[in-house]
């Protein structure tokens, strides 16, 4: 073990702390319905959706805000 | 070498002066108060070059001690009873952050009812915090234990805090001859402090005390257990070095006439002096009785105890503490770890006097046991 007492020796440890395992429901985006409004990108509290609408499942906790904010119901939350 | 007639609190203060900590955050509490007074005077008189922080509580005292230790300097603090209880939360942090802080605890009972007198409930109640614990029998042991504790705690394989426990009033306010070693000898034994791992260094930046998710926490706790187990070897080595430099010998336990003893009494702290007198008296009457003095409570020396009591018929374990609904801590730990016929005795709570008559009573009750745990010195009429 290279750390004693929980000491963090280099910056960026949060990146190693994958929180996607907390998810119960995962957002599934139907690109056919998507109108590129970017609401999901703007409302995602974790910044997990990029400009190409790729969802980062390492950190997406499945909160479902994207589903609620999507004006054309292109995102459906599905059980993991 | 200078032998002075001083109290154990003075002995501790002199040990701290010789160990030269750079930061001393202390909050005064009976019966520890004179330790903080002596140290404040040493600092004010220029005899000890340290930052003496007058904190507003014990919670702050140990918090400041952690902060100071995190800057990579040697730290000392001291407390007792309610003060130690108030530190409880932060004691876990000190061990978890691997700060080699040394603290003196002037053993005193816990309220309620409010009492300023001695028992071991305060420090025993902190046994699971990850601190090493040494119990002193007299002022000399209190002084020596502070020096030994720094050396053990600061070992790079250990990095755990140490608590030196000395009986309130019985030791803290009673004067007896104590050999105060020279600075030169102490400097040979306890070299200049060099921080390891868990401290802030601008040349090698790191974060301390961060949040950890379930991926990391358990490993950090496991490391404490590993360090505690490793400390057994380090303690042996430090004791050997201490003996070579100062001529006084320490172990995890002290055996007093245990070799051929049929009944062995097990106890910690100043009570052992009373028991030694009784052992001498009983031996002069032909009774094969011995004493096992437990010096190191954490780490718990199960191997040494098992070896010391292996030829005894029975043992009596004397506890100045009680885990309600179970029994004394030393008794229950011995019962759990060592295959020997053992009986537990609860005594001396809140400063109740323990006389030679009580000790003889315990020996007799161990010969003819009627129950597993017996309270000694209780007033029947209340």
- What pLDDT tens digit does each residue of chain B (382 aa) get? 799 999 999 999 999 999 999 999 999 999 999 999 999 999 999 999 999 999 999 999 999 999 999 999 999 999 999 999 999 999 999 999 999 999 999 999 999 999 999 999 999 999 999 999 999 999 999 999 999 999 999 999 999 999 999 999 999 999 999 999 999 999 999 999 999 878 999 998 999 998 888 888 999 999 999 999 999 999 999 999 999 999 999 999 999 999 999 999 999 999 999 999 999 999 999 999 999 999 999 999 999 999 999 999 999 999 999 999 999 999 999 999 999 999 999 999 999 999 999 999 999 999 999 999 999 999 987 6
Per-residue pLDDT, B382: 66
Cα distance between residue B162 and residue B298, in whole Å = 9
The architecture CATH gives domain B2-246: 3-Layer(aba) Sandwich (3.40)
* A59/chain B closest Cα distance in angstroms: 14
Crossing angle of helices B329-337 and B302-309, rounded to 10°: 80
Residues carrying CATH 3.40.50.920, chain B? 255-375
* Residue whose entry in the numeric block shows the structure tokens 């209780």: B378
Closest Cα to residue B269, out of B124, B101, B110, B149?
Answer: B124
Handedness of CA B368, B369, B375, B379 (dihedral sign): negative
Q: Give the residues across from B305 on adjacent strands.
A: none
Contact B62, B26 (CB under 8 A): no
Per-residue pLDDT, A1: 46
Per-residue pLDDT, B104: 98
Are the Cβ atoms of A4 and B223 closer than 8 angstroms? yes
CATH topology of domain B255-375: Rossmann fold (3.40.50)
* A36/chain B closest Cα distance in angstroms: 36
* A11/chain B closest Cα distance in angstroms: 8
Are the Cβ atoms of A6 and B97 closer than 8 angstroms? yes
pLDDT band (50, 70, 90) for residue A4: confident
Are the Cβ atoms of B96 and A8 closer than 8 angstroms? no
Are the Cβ atoms of B159 and A17 closer than 8 angstroms? no
Q: Give the residues across from B78 on adjacent strands.
A: B104
Are the Cβ atoms of B197 and A7 closer than 8 angstroms? yes
Is the pLDDT reported for residue A2 higher than 80? Answer: no
Per-residue pLDDT, B211: 87
- The whole model's pTM is what? 0.91
Q: CB-based contacts of A61: which residues, under 8 Å, 6+ apart?
A: A19, A20, A22, A23, A46
Contacts of A13 in chain B (CB under 8 A): 207, 210
ipTM confidence: 0.72
Give the mean model confidence (pLDDT) for residues A28-36.
97
Contact pairs from chain A to chain B, CB under 8 Å = 45
Chain B residue at shortest CA distance from A11: B206
Residues carrying CATH 3.40.50.970, chain B? 2-246
Within an 8 Å CB–CB cutoff, is residue A6 touching chain B?
yes
Task: Show which residues on chain B lie within 8 Å of chain A, measured between beta carbons.
Answer: 96-99, 159, 196-198, 204, 206-210, 212-213, 215-217, 219-220, 223
* B239/chain A closest Cα distance in angstroms: 25
Handedness of CA B75, B19, B154, B78 (dihedral sign): negative
Give the mean model confidence (pLDDT) for residues A62-71.
97
Q: What is the largest CA-CA distance in chain B?
A: 68
């Amino acid at each position: 073990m290279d750390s004693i007492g929980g000491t963090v020796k280099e910056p960026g440890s949060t990146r190693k702390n994958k929180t996607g395992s907390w998810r119960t429901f995962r957002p599934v985006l139907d690109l056919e319905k998507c109108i590129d409004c970017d609401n999901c990108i703007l409302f995602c509290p974790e910044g997990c959706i990029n400009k190409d609408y790729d969802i980062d499942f390492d950190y997406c906790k499945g909160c479902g805000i994207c589903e609620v904010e999507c004006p054309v119901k292109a995102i459906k939350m599905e059980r993991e | 070498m200078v032998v002075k007639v001083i109290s154990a609190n003075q002995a501790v203060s002199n040990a701290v002066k010789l160990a030269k900590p750079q930061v001393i955050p202390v909050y005064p509490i009976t019966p520890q108060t004179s330790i903080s007074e002596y140290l404040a005077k040493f600092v004010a008189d220029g005899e000890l070059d340290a930052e003496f922080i007058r904190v507003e509580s014990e919670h702050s005292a140990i918090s400041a001690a952690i902060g100071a230790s995190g800057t990579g300097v040697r730290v000392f603090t001291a407390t007792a009873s309610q003060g130690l209880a108030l530190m409880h939360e932060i004691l876990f942090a000190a061990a978890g952050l691997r700060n080699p802080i040394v603290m003196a605890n002037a053993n005193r009972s816990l309220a309620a009812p409010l009492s300023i007198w001695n028992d071991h409930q305060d420090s025993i109640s902190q046994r699971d915090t990850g601190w090493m614990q040494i119990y002193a029998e007299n002022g000399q042991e209190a002084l020596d234990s502070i020096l030994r504790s720094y050396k053990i705690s600061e070992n790079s394989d250990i990095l755990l805090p140490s608590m030196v426990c000395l009986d309130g009033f019985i030791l803290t306010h009673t004067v007896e001859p104590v050999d105060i070693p020279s600075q030169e000898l102490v400097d040979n034994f306890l070299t200049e402090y060099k921080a390891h791992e868990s401290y802030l260094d601008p040349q090698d930046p790191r974060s301390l005390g961060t949040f950890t998710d379930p991926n990391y926490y358990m490993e950090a706790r496991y490391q404490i257990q590993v360090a505690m187990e490793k400390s057994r070897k380090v303690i042996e080595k430090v004791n050997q070095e201490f003996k070579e430099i100062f001529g006084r010998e320490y172990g995890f336990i002290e055996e007093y006439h245990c070799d051929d003893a049929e009944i062995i009494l097990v106890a910690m702290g100043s009570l052992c002096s009373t028991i030694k007198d009784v052992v001498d008296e009983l031996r002069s009457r032909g009774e094969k009785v011995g004493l096992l003095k437990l010096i190191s409570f954490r780490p718990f020396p199960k191997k040494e105890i098992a070896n010391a009591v292996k030829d005894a018929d029975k043992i009596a374990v004397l506890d100045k503490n009680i885990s309600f609904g179970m029994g004394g801590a030393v008794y229950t730990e011995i019962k759990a770890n060592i295959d020997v016929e053992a009986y537990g005795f609860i005594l001396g709570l809140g400063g109740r006097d323990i006389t030679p008559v009580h000790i003889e009573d315990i020996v007799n009750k161990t010969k003819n046991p009627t129950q597993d745990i017996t309270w000694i010195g209780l007033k029947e009429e209340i």
